[in-house]
Amino acid sequence: MPEELRNNKIDEQAQMDLQRAGFLRRLLAMVYDTLVAIAVGMCAAMVLIVLLVVLLSNGVLDLQGYDDPSALIQGSVLYRTLIQIWVGFWIVGFFLWFWKNGGQTIGMRAWRLRIYSTVEAPMGWGRLVLRLVASLGGLGTLLVLLDFKHKQSLQDRVAGTEVLQLTKEANDHKSW
């Protein structure tokens, strides 16, 4: 049996033995991930702003009548929008990359949570983007408070996923 199929079988058995995560644990993981996402966004913004300042200072890009690059960047809707899109791309990429590669963000790993599929379809980028959009910036998780029986958030229902609380052994990357 190929290694990939064997790992999926083990994964399915482990998934059946685990419970869905409650609201508090999800909230704590979201707080943790928010702090990491802010740091990712700040680093991404810094890289682009430094690049823009260097390009503007060296005349590669036109200062458009401004005295210095920082005045142009702050005064230009184009540059501000470019920076916001760049930062948003990196923050979205942070969540999608971690969900796709291991089913856990850093906060989810710290609180022993992992995303699993509840449908037969593979966990592709499209489903993960759908999950991210349906989370409504974290508000979709409030549905867990109303769904006592199934403990599913809006993003779980829409994307066909579930967030399970792992044991310490299951949270170890070597067991994947």
pLDDT in tens, 79-116: 999 999 999 999 999 999 999 999 999 999 999 999 99
pTM comes to: 0.85
Q: What is the pLDDT of residues 30-63, one digit of tens each?
A: 999 999 999 999 999 999 999 999 999 999 999 9
Taking the domains of the chain in order of start, what are their residue ranges? 19-166
What is 80-96 written as a DSSP string?
HHHHHHHHHHHHHHHHH
| End-to-end Cα separation, the chain, in angstroms | 17
Instruction: Share the mean pLDDT of the chain.
Output: 90
Q: Average pLDDT, stretch 117-144?
A: 95
Cα distances (angstroms) measured from residue 21 to each of 2, 93, 119, 144, 164: 31, 24, 18, 9, 5
Residue 172: which pLDDT band, with cuts at 50, 70 and 90? Answer: confident
Amino acid identity, position 2: P
**Residue 157 DSSP SS3:** helix
Cα 4 from chain centre = 25
